Amino acid sequence: MLTTIRDLFRFSPSFRFGSLILLVVAILVLLSAASPYEEDKLRRKVKRNQPPAANYVFGTTSQGQDVFWTLTYAIRNTLVISSIAVVIGRGIGVVLGMVSGYLGGTFDRVTQSIVESVIVIPRLPLLILIGAILRGSMTMYSLGIMIGLLDWAYPSKRYRAQVLSLREREFTHTAIFSGMSTIKIVIREHLPFIIPFMLADVISGFLFSIGIEVTLSYLGLANLDSPTIGTMIYWGNYYQSIFVGRTWVMIAPVVAAILMVLGFYLVSVGLGEYLDPRKRLVRLQAHTDDNSEASPDDADPRKEKDV
Amino acid sequence: MNLLRTYILPRLLQWVMVVFVGITATFLIPRLSPVNPVDEMLARMTAFQSMDPDSFAAMRESTIALFGLDKSPIEQYITYWSRLLQGDLGPSFGNFPRPVSDIIATALPWTIGLLGTATAISWTSGVLLGALAGYYHNRRWAQVIERFVVVAYPIPYLIIAFVLILIFAAWLQWFPLVGGARGDPGFNWEYISSLLYFGFLPALSIVIGATAFRFIMAKSLTTTEIASDYVQYAELAAVPKRKIMLYYVARNTMLPQVTDLALSLGAIFEGALITEVVFAYPGIGFITYNAIYNGDYNVIMGVTLLSIVGIATASLLIDLLYPVFDPRVRLR
Amino acid sequence: MFRKFVFLLLLALIVAPALVAVAQEPQGLPVEVPGGRENLWVFDRIYRLPTEADWNIWKSGIHTAFFHALMHETFWNRDQETGEFIHALAAADPVYNDDFTEMSVELRQGVLWTDGEEFNADDVVYTIDALRNKYDGTQGGWQVQLNDFDAMVEKTGEYSVKFTIGRPNPRFHTLFESRWNGIYMMPSHVAAEVEASLAEGENLSAWVWDAEDMVVLGNYLPIDWDENGYWQLFERRADPENSLAGIITGGSGPPYALGIWYGNENIKKAIAMSRGELDVYFDVDIESFETTLDTAPTARSWYKDFPWAYPNEVSSRAMAFNLEGDSMAANKDVRWALALAINIVELQSEYIGGVAKVTPFNIPPTAKLYELYHGPLEQWLIDLQIDLGDGEMYNPYDPTVPDQIAAWAEDYGYTVPGEPREVFGTGWWKFDPDAAEKLLMKAGMSRGDDGRWLTPDGELWTLDIQSDPSENDAYRMGQAAADMWSEFGVDVNFITLDRSTWTQNHRVGAFEVSTPWQSFALASGDMWPNVRGYHSKYYAPAGEDYNPLGGNSLRRQQETVLDELIDAMEGVNPVSQEAENIALAHEFVKHWVENMMDITTIAFKKFVTWDEKYWTGFPTAENPNYQPLYWFMGGKFAIQNLTPTGG
């Protein structure tokens, strides 16, 4: 495991760069614990509307917040929200999509009916309605859960489509004829194809949650009192910071959002290359022999042949 | 015949069920909201005035009766279905007594035009560029495009929208701030060019993110696909790269993309809510947004009905057409 | 080859619409009028209203939306700036009999409908009859109110009418006195014809009034509009000198008026003004206003310089408490403590930008209302004492607040245009956390180890403030309170809600502290119309909707003292018995303040801003002839004397 990571770090530029970004993000998150301000008492602490300078690295907001320290909380909270959403949404989506893709038959039909019924109901209006029904008692966690519960239907359809397509591949038939068990086929033959897709999908899941978080905040439906990327953008916009030239208020959360997703994306590309049967680096190959924790597909004979 | 019984009929049934469940849900959910159309309308009508409380109470009673909300939810539900089956979506409460069908008919063409165009542009360019970049992933241009996309992709939509407004409407003042067109609707150059002129910024804001999304998806699918045995055999057999790309790889990565396209076309009826709100563009999304805040049940239901039927139908068509796009999928 | 083709295709897809779009002449206005921009006055329409081309404004549910001032008239207007009672279609004040069962109105002569007919007593008689009997519900609840008062009208001359009122009412005339609106007169000669043409069983609610058939008393007629509800274009009538606004002001107004909606974002109005596509907007946040100052060199608001904004719209902003439920704020001492924990100078300056007037009770200190309320009550406020619980009687009022704000402004580099009291309002409560601390102790509370306040039961005291961001100052006031109370050791949650949910929470009492706005007094100083809904007979317990009862039980108050005052005010004529009426109103204010029912902070201000690029002559602090609030019915006078600058 460690070897794999070390090799990835050494030979995959995107993994290297991505991990560095994620490290920066992680440091920012950890720094939130050392913040001189309490999370619920960030406003009215410093002089308002100050541009970035030595004492306020990222400047201050129109509400008298230090942008830097607010940002550390915001990144942490947004990661919490999106992680909850992604785990729930992708969890349901992957399981439902793959199971119904493989099982087929009645199970598939019933699940598809449910999935369809969920898909047809427009999501954003539904979120707005739910926001109104909850009447401002929305917390960070309930927001994450809500986003997750609304974002599994599309992914599950995509996974099902992937599975349906993989099932008809020649190598699947070969494996079936050679007596491989279904589980083995799934793990050895199909996962290597699905995982890169899943990594990309998880990234877009993060993006979706961050986007929805920003959107709901913009519509005033999130808890605007707790710092997140979305609420920072909401307040920046509320005080017109783009238009009155206090761009630092907006730049910080936007750059943070980009860094987060970019970091995940690059790491996923690196991992994808590693997991990809064909594109595995030759160097990496040499190390798999002494890597006892290598993933199952490492032993796949097909890949040896391919390289 | 067997095909009809085992494949088409169940899917048609599924369609009917999905539409029924969806409509029932959209009947119920707005009624759970604390906001109700009567008080919203009264608040608007009596703003800035001081009214005799007893008169106000009487007016409220009569408005409830006028809206038919004095009946039990079950009666309202039955009334709704019987009206719906006659093609009547009822009156709007926010703009009483204007018919909902009329409101939707006015707004829908704008959304279809905006989202249709934006989706077409972003889907085509995203899928093509993504496939190319995935296939020629070692080329410099592919990497440049990818970097650009990867950085643009995570930018929250609202920021893109604000920045576009800031640059093109506030600083350069090239594009208008609100609205959909100028002049009287008609099939003439003046009107059509004004449509493009007014729709440009909203469409661009959608295209940027959507293209990036398609690009990343297409690239990831292609990267996986070119690892397939058949691609390598083809390469070994010296089949021209372009041919491999076009005839084999592109075709096989199409399935999920087409699925998504059909669904996103269906979602046009849901409207580009945020885009329309931010750019103040006339369309179904904005109507929905206002309706939610006014508790305008009939408008919410009218719009959702379209969305439900639109997406369910798109999805049905995908199911029926799967085999055409991916011959490997066999009917089961 | 293939790649080239793909790129060409993509290029074409993206570039072609871009080229077409860029090739357009940059012009964001949806219409052009003869004579160009110099003939067109463009105003902010505030809302988008997808409305049919139906101008039957009397019918229930039709949006009046700012065009009513351009087209319709009633008997009297109350100017919010001057407090002046302007005779509109009436030639004089209303004359009541002794027991307020009759009201005589003398009508103005020489006001013409746009078809040349003269306005007369027949129109009044027809209007009242139609509103009572020929509509299924009307605008403004006029039908129910006229029926409730059992109001009849008879023609006593060509230009005079007499109302008989079944239920004695010294304020019956307020139905015809506009702040927002008043009963719009109908052209009887037109409506009677329409009525005759209606099908059996139909009434005037079925009347769809097309723009081309319109006949009005106002100065403008609609000629074009957007079916999506973004804009409406009006053309000045051929004989503006015969319109009521023309007769009263002597001006004729711009030839064309375009009401346009620039979206939900405040900043768009500022951008539109900088593009020369908006001549006046009704309000924005202070940041957008600053953008306007930076980008539209000829734009200004009420004051030429700081504090710019129009300070005298008749309303005020307050933190209101839900007096029921488990909230600690149901305790009067706790409310006083919260008031003393607020630093009003910082609130007014840092949060609001120094641009609104301070007031300690729910009446804005406009010139007229200051004279009626704040001035006479000042000594009482100075002498007011509260019991801190440790035997000390404490004077909470600080009359020097406006001077402190003026000092802040001068520190900031602003010049104060006049006396601090004229510009920044009245005194307010002292900022005194120590006194507040004693009050909370008196209420049985204590501080925990981390300095946060605990309830008498020893639990952490949490306080929820709900607010709606669409009213900027109320929202920022709420934030200020949250921040300051939080520093004082209260665990505050500041909850943002959309307007609809927030008002619905008011109706059912689902809040602890909220940020509503109201004025107890009308621009005239009369209080009863605005407070009658506070009577205990309209009380609804928390958890129940008060709207079905018709009153305003927002705070869930049940105060016998207030009920008696409200009942007493009801029987007093606000014009002929003004002194008595105001004396009762003072008692009402005193009771409200002593119990700290609301923490009222500032009066309404509006950044009603106009660009003098195309039109000049809007009312200003230097020339305060009429209220600049053009969206009210009386706002029409402000635009009548606009003159073109020649662009």
Average pLDDT of every residue of chain B: 84
Residue contact B53–C550, C-beta within 8 A: yes
Task: Give which of A110, A119, A120 to mutate to test B binding, by max B Cβ within 10 Å.
Answer: A120
Contact status of B57 with chain C (Cβ, < 8 Å):
yes
**pLDDT (average), residues C22-39:** 80
Percent of chain B at pLDDT > 70 equals 94
Mean pLDDT, residues B219-229: 78
pLDDT of A296: 34
Nearest chain C residue to B197 by CA distance is C21
Residue from the list C60, C139, C549 with its beta carbon closest to the beta carbon of B53: C549
> What's residue C62's pLDDT?
66
- Over 80: is that where the pLDDT of B252 sits? no
pLDDT at residue C567 in the model = 96
Task: Answer whether A305 touches C (CB < 8 Å).
Answer: no
Closest by CA position to B203, among listed B108, B260, B275, B124: B275
Residue B18 clears pLDDT 80, i.e. is over it: yes
Which residues of chain A are under the pLDDT cut of 70? Answer: 1, 135, 275-307
Coil, strand or helix: which one is C233?
strand
**Which pLDDT band, with edges at 50, 70 and 90, does C13 fall under?**
low
- What residue type is assigned to position A269 of the chain? V
Q: Between A121, A162, A242, which is nearest B166 by CB?
A: A242
Residues 6+ apart with CB under 8 A from A20: none
Please give, rounded to a whole number of angstroms, the shortest distance from the CA of C400 to a CA of chain A: 24
| CATH numbers and ranges of domains, chain B | 110-297 (1.10.3720.10)
Beta strand C453-454 with C446-447: parallel, antiparallel or unpaired? Answer: antiparallel
Mean pLDDT (whole number) for C197-212: 90
Region label for C113, one of left (φ > 0), alpha (ψ between -120 and 50) or beta (otherwise): beta
A220, A225, A238 member nearest C498 (Cβ): A220
**Contact criterion met (CB < 8 Å) for C267 and A63:** no
Spatial distance between the Cα atoms of C322 and C511, rounded to a whole number of angstroms: 6
Length of chain B: 332
- State the average pLDDT over residues C549-554: 90
| Max avg pLDDT among A296-300, B35-39, B202-206, B216-220 | B202-206
| Start-end of CATH 3.10.105.10 domains in chain C | 310-606
> What's the CA gap between C354 and A64, in Å, rounded?
16
Q: pLDDT band at residue B266, thresholds of 50, 70 and 90?
A: low
> DSSP character for C210?
-
pLDDT higher than threshold 90 for residue C361: yes
Query: What does the pLDDT look like over B98-144, one tens digit per residue?
Result: 889 989 998 989 998 899 889 989 998 998 888 888 888 788 888 88
Q: Does A158 touch chain C (CB under 8 A)?
A: no
At C321, the pLDDT band (50, 70, 90 cuts) reads very high
- Please report the pLDDT score of residue C157 as a whole number: 96
pLDDT at A292: 34
- Tell me which residue in A40, A220, A241 faces C496 most closely, judged by beta carbons: A220
Can you read off the two tokens belonging to residue A201? 């999908």
pLDDT at C10: 67
Q: In Å, how far from its chain's centre is CA B14?
A: 22
pLDDT the model gives residue B217: 82
Q: Tell me which chain A residues have a C-beta less than 8 angstroms from the C-beta of B259.
A: 157-158, 161
Give the Cα separation of C149 and C152 in Å (integer).
Answer: 9
Give me the pLDDT at residue A1, please: 63
Task: Please choose, from the candidates C189, C259, C216, C243, the residue with its C-alpha nearest in 3D space to the C-alpha of residue C30.
Answer: C259
Ranges for all domains in chain C classified under CATH 3.90.76.10: 73-206
* pLDDT greater than 80 at residue C22: no
Inform me whether the pLDDT recorded for C74 exceeds 70: yes
C-beta atoms of A225 and C494 within 8 A = yes
Is residue A192 within 8 A of residue A297, CB to CB? The reply is yes
CATH 3.90.76.10 fits C73-206, yes or no: yes
Give how far B71 is from chain A: nearest CA, Å.
Answer: 22
Distance CA C218, CA C241 (A): 11
Q: What pTM did the predictor assign?
A: 0.90
Identify which of B19, B307, B332 has the shortest CB distance to residue A122.
Answer: B307
Mean pLDDT of C324-332: 86
pLDDT band at C293 (very low <50, low <70, confident <90, very high): very high
Contacts of A238 in chain C (CB under 8 A): 285, 469
The model's confidence at residue C296, banded by pLDDT at 50, 70 and 90, is very high
- Percent of chain C surpassing pLDDT 70: 95
**More confident of the two residues B269 and A195:** A195
Q: What is the pLDDT of residue C75?
A: 97
Digit-coded pLDDT (tens) for C474-490: 999 999 999 999 999 99
pLDDT at B155: 82
C179 part of contact set with chain B, CB < 8 Å: yes
Please return the burial class of A209, using the count of CB atoms within 10 Å of its CB with bins 0-12, 13-18 and 19+: buried
Q: B216 and A200: CB-CB below 8 Å?
A: yes
Strands (E), C117-203: 151-157, 160-165, 177-178
Mean pLDDT of B238-259: 78
A79-93, C48-62, C174-188: least confidently modelled range: C48-62
pLDDT score for C14: 67
Q: What is the pLDDT of residue C526?
A: 94
Please name the member of A161, A265, A277 whose beta carbon is closest to the beta carbon of B227: A277
pLDDT band at C165 (very low <50, low <70, confident <90, very high): very high
Confidence check: pLDDT of C529 > 80:
yes
pLDDT at residue B318 tops 90? no
C30 touches chain B (CB under 8 A): yes
What pLDDT was estimated at residue C437?
96
Helix (H) or strand (E) holding B151: helix B140-152
pLDDT of residue C65: 63
User: Quick one: what percent of chain C has pLDDT higher than 90?
Assistant: 77
What confidence score (pLDDT) does residue A182 get? 81
Cβ of A165 within 8 Å of Cβ of B328? The answer is: yes
Residues C613-628 have a mean pLDDT of 91
Asked if B125's CB is within 8 angstroms of C141's CB, the reply is: no
In this structure, is the dihedral angle defined by the CA atoms of residues C174, C178, C183 and C187, taken in order, positive or negative? positive
Average pLDDT (C192-204) is 91
Q: What is the pLDDT of residue A52?
A: 96
Is the omega angle on the peptide bond into residue B154 within 30 degrees of 0, that is, cis? Answer: no
Instruction: Check residue C423 and give its pLDDT.
Output: 95
Residue C215, sorted as left (phi over 0), alpha (psi -120 to 50) or beta, turns out to be beta
Cβ–Cβ contact B59 with C under 8 A: yes
DSSP state for residue A75 in the 8-state scheme? H
Residue appearing with tokens 């109370």: C485
Task: Give me the pLDDT at residue A291, please.
Answer: 38
pLDDT-derived band of residue B300, with 50, 70 and 90 as boundaries?
A: confident
Q: Rounded to an integer, what distance in angstroms lies between the CA atom of residue C367 and that of residue C421?
A: 11
Please give the pLDDT value at position B325: 63
In CATH, which superfamily holds the domain spanning C310-606?
Dipeptide-binding Protein; Domain 3 (3.10.105.10)
pLDDT at B148 over 50: yes
Average pLDDT, chain C: 92
Residue C319: which H helix or E strand, with range?
A: strand C310-321
Q: Are A202 and A261 in contact (CB under 8 A)?
A: no
Is A135 part of the contact surface with chain C (CB cutoff 8 Å)? yes
Give the best residue of B149, B162, B168, B224 to mutate against chain A (max A CB count within 10 A).
B224
pLDDT at B331: 47
Segment C382-440, tens digit of pLDDT: 999 999 998 889 999 999 999 999 999 999 999 999 999 999 999 999 999 999 999 99
- Average pLDDT on B233-261 reads 79
C215 reaches A (C-beta below 8 A): no
